[in-house]
Structure 1
Amino acid sequence: MKKIISLLAIISILISCKEEVVKKPNRLMEKEVMVDIMYDLSLLEAIRLENPMSLDTFKINPKKYIYKKYKIDSLQFAQNIAYYASDYEEYANIVAQLEDRFTKKKAEITALIKAEAKKNKNKKKKPVVKPVSPTTKLIDSLEINQRKRL
């Protein structure tokens, strides 16, 4: 009996001690929206790291662009990131969705690049030759120069 009571006491303590590490934000964004935001931010950061002048040329600040696109503010974004990151399983699921999305997009782009390369390769192999009609007279360049002299 003492073992059962002590076991129940331990279980109730463990259950009651489970607190939310981060409180749920008042304006919680859906998980799909967070995936979209994180995807866009990842792309913008990759562009900035690959070619820093590209974003500077168009005066694009990645975070301000995201805030404007998704109609959120920095506080809402920070609270939502912290909330989703506090739940490891949920955050791992979001990261897995991002990885899948990047993998699919990479496959699409690779296929487009290969198709374009094949298209350009075929154009180079087949030179465009206009057929000569039988009524057209072929004139030698020497003959043209002789005519100019006369």
Structure 2
Amino acid sequence: MKNILSISLVLILLVGVSCQNKGYPKPDGLPSQNEMVDILYEIHLAEAIANRNRYTVRDSTKIESDDMYQAVLEKHGLNDSIMAMSVIYYSGKPKVYEKIYSKVVERLNVKIEDMKKKSELKVESPEAKE
């Protein structure tokens, strides 16, 4: 629920900023472009894990996506408001934000391919047949 509220806040702020048609000032604590790539990559991985766990883990050990999201932010020394302001700042610079997300998608695709290869190796290994 907290994650939904955070996303809603970001969307409202994005609409407000885009309607003003002004550049958003650089916030204090703004992660660099490369740091944003790392943060967004880790957030997307955390969301994927949480979504997978939602269907496979059915007890109190279930990992919540909000907890994972907060862990990623803490790892990078951020909080919800700095992250929201960073997203708003970079989304006000579409070419920069597109470059950031292109790198995130590229890393995610590499991760997917790596996982597919590992999965294929498990299926083909003689140990799996025994």
Q: Which has the larger radius of gyration?
A: 1
Instruction: Give the total of aligned pairs.
Output: 106
Contact 2:26 2:89 in 1 (8 A): yes
How has the CA–CA distance of structure 1 residues 31 and 54 changed in structure 2, closer, same or farther, with 3 Å as cutoff? Answer: farther
Alpha-carbon RMSD across the aligned residues, in angstroms, is 2.5
Q: Which residue of 1 aligns with 2:103?
A: 97
**Letter of the 1:35 counterpart:** V
Return the match for 1:23 from 22, 25, 31. 25
What is the percent sequence identity of the aligned residues? 22
**Letter of the 1:43 counterpart:** L
- Structure 1 unmatched runs, 5+: 1-18, 125-150
Return the match for 2:86 from 80, 83, 106. 80
Q: Which residue of 1 aligns with 2:61?
A: 57
- Once residues 28 and 70 of structure 1 are traced to their aligned partners in structure 2, the CA distance between those partners, rounded to angstroms, is 11
How has the CA–CA distance of structure 1 residues 121 and 63 changed in structure 2, closer, same or farther, with 3 Å as cutoff? Answer: closer
**Letter of the 2:32 counterpart:** E
Judging by fraction of residues, say which structure has more helix.
2
Contact 1:48 1:55 in 2 (8 A): no
Q: Which residue of 1 aligns with 2:74?
A: 68
Q: How far 1:33 sits from its partner (Å)?
A: 0.9
Question: Which stretch of structure 1 is more off in the superposition, 63-72 or 79-88?
Answer: 63-72
Contact 1:25 1:80 in 2 (8 A): yes
**Letter of the 1:108 counterpart:** D
**Letter of the 2:51 counterpart:** L
How has the CA–CA distance of structure 1 residues 106 and 84 changed in structure 2, closer, same or farther, with 3 Å as cutoff? Answer: same
Q: State the TM-score, normalized to the length of structure 2.
A: 0.69
Return the match for 1:43 from 42, 45, 52. 45
